[in-house]
């Protein structure tokens, strides 16, 4: 728990919830530094600043921060299941705002600068082709990252570099990011603490299965393009 802070009775989050959440993430179990980072983030869930911490984590995780927003969201939902949808709404709004910030910065950098840098490494043409493909399927690429465990921050930067239309980016984020966060919140709201085991084991798998037809379609189109080339 952050120093000089006392447990916030309004969140209902306990040390047991925090430790269970850390144990659910393999990297946090095995790497001391990562564990300490998770403990610091989750410690805020026990304080009166939990809402601000949720907003900050969701925003910065969508730009560069390595700890997924789901970690704090799940803990807060478990602490007070009746508030699950309120936490999910805050998480969604700030995550999309952070992703849009990364995307706009990437857009300002632009494709030409990225290709020029990669050209110094002898990969300029490959980078240009990859960014063109990303732009062509920009909406669905963002949708995949918004719903699945694919890093949303990385996709946001790449969407900017490849000059995906901002409205396409926002539409995909606004449609699919809530599906992830409200999916978690809904499970906890309906089933309570027992939902955590299901989320840890199956939730990410379900998101992959939902997006599997989209991924298969994009891969098929890319394969056809390469064959014609």
Give pLDDT tens digits for 49-73.
Answer: 998 999 999 999 999 988 899 999 9
Domain count, the chain: 1
CA 135 to chain centre: 20
* pLDDT for 30: 81
CA distance 89 to 224: 40
Give pLDDT tens digits for 139-151.
Answer: 999 999 999 999 9
Percent of the chain whose predicted confidence (pLDDT) is above 90: 66
Query: pTM score, two decimals?
Result: 0.88
Within-domain flag for 10: no
Within-domain flag for 8: no
Within-domain flag for 49: yes
Within-domain flag for 63: yes
Give pLDDT tens digits for 8-32.
Answer: 446 778 788 888 888 887 777 788 8
Length of the chain: 229
Within-domain flag for 2: no
Cα end-to-end distance, the chain, whole Å: 57
Give pLDDT tens digits for 106-118.
Answer: 999 999 999 999 9
């Amino acid at each position: 728990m952050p120093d000089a802070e006392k447990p916030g009775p309004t969140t209902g989050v306990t040390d047991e919830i925090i430790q269970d959440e850390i144990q659910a993430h393999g990297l946090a179990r095995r790497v001391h530094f990562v564990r300490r980072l998770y403990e610091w983030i989750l410690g805020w869930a026990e304080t009166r600043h939990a809402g601000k911490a949720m907003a900050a984590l969701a925003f910065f995780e969508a730009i560069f921060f390595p700890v997924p927003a789901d970690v704090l969201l799940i803990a807060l939902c478990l602490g007070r299941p009746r508030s699950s949808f309120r936490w999910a709404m805050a998480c969604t709004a700030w995550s999309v705002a952070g992703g849009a910030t990364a995307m706009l910065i990437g857009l300002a950098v632009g494709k030409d600068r990225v290709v020029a840098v990669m050209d110094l490494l002898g990969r300029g043409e490959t980078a240009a082709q990859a960014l063109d493909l990303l732009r062509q399927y920009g909406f669905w690429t963002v949708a995949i990252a918004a719903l699945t465990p694919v890093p949303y921050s990385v996709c946001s930067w790449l969407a900017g570099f490849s000059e995906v239309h901002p409205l396409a980016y926002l539409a995909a984020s606004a449609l699919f990011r809530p599906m992830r966060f409200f999916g978690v919140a809904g499970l906890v709201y309906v089933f309570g603490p027992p939902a955590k085991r299901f989320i840890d084991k199956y939730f990410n798998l379900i998101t992959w299965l939902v997006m599997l037809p989209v991924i298969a379609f994009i891969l098929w189109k890319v394969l056809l393009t390469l064959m014609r080339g």
